[in-house]
Amino acid sequence: MASLDVRLLRSIITALILASLLATLAPLGVTSSVMPPGSRQLANALTQADDPSAAAADAAREFSRLEADRDFDALYQRMHPDALAVVPRSAVVGWYQSFFTDRETDELTVTDVVSEPWTWGVTGTTYDDAVTVTFVQPYAVAGVADDVAGEVHLVPFGDEWGWFFGASPSFVDEQIALHEDDGSAILASLSLEVRDEGAEAVMPRDVRFPDPLHAHVDHFWAAQFQEAGRPYESPHGVIAFDHPVVTACGRVDPDDEAAFYCVIDETIYYSAHFRSLIESQIGDFAWVNVVAHEWGHHIQTQLGVDLGVGPDRAGEVTPIELEQQADCLAGAYAIDAETTGWLDAGDIDEALYLTSISGDPVGTAWNDPRAHGTGDERIDVFLEGYSGGVAGCDLDLSRIDAAS
């Protein structure tokens, strides 16, 4: 085993302990849409059903009014979902803020509307139902007015029309480099509705989890749920970040957050540096144990295990119990991985060593909302799962509500 900088590793693991709980408790910081509920969608639906070209023209005019009002956040929200999943908010808003530093504009005048296939140069995707709206839009630069001709390509989705930012990958990359990546595109890609019923269920595991270490944990839980006769839903992903990003549970910084499960988007996030440190200093299965712990929180969410605010409220689990159950479930995965020949000699020792140095600082109260238990306590619950499987973790997969 390579020499270990225990002090450095302990400091990062402390972030893991804090992040795992705080991300679970974090409120949703922003609303998912800036659109007024109901009215515009209904109007667009009626107009679009009557005349798609007229609806597209109305959408283009609306977008120009948002530009004139400098409501760039709202304009970003009106992008097509495929564009939201690729281009971060920071790049779009940053470009508009720079472009309109010395400019003013007003509502555009539509000159033509043509229904025709169009290919978005950023991804190479072709949209057969696209509409090209050509227009003239007034601009004033330093008080000098001019009319500028242009065109915008719109694609319908649901009852809306969406626009696309950028014509090439290089342009988008340039804007991200200039204005940074706030992670909003990752969040959008995770929150897109599945367009084809059942598409999520048939998504190959190696596509959702390209890392085989993560895919193996998912395979274990899918088998456990199948054996219990209940449906299983995988996490939406296991995502690395090496710079600050925005998740459904809020903004996270790799210098502060090591690894956590976000219950809002059902996704595991981790610092790429944290993983590299664990794997280089301890081993690859030590890292898998981190993922298996966070996967345990996903299983708790699937089964309706509630995080309680106090030990006297029936049907709730205190923070330390929640965390130690996740440790136990990591142990249950470990024994299955060992039994099936997935592990190498010494892998279990890696998991135990990481667990032993991940205990709470001396003096942490059992009811502290950040508590996970001492190193010895965490090893004990890991071994309960390692020796007794999922059943040894006080979790009955056959019950609808495991917390009741």
- What are the pLDDT digits (tens) for 175-219? 988 988 777 776 666 555 434 444 444 567 877 888 999 999 999
Percentage with pLDDT > 90 across the chain: 47
Q: What distance lies between CA 277 and its chain's CA centroid? A: 23
pLDDT for the residue 191: 53
Give the residue among 254, 221, 256 at the shortest CA–CA distance from 239: 254
Which pair of structure tokens corresponds to residue 82? 């495929």
β-sheet with 237-241: strand ranges across: 237-241, 267-271, 259-262
Which pair of structure tokens corresponds to residue 259? 């690894």
Percentage with pLDDT > 70 across the chain: 78
What value, to the nearest 5°, has the Cα angle with vertex 137 and ends 134 and 143?
160
pLDDT band at 345 (very low <50, low <70, confident <90, very high): very high
Instruction: Give the chain's domains with CATH numbers.
Output: 6-28+201-393 (no CATH), 39-191 (3.10.450.100)
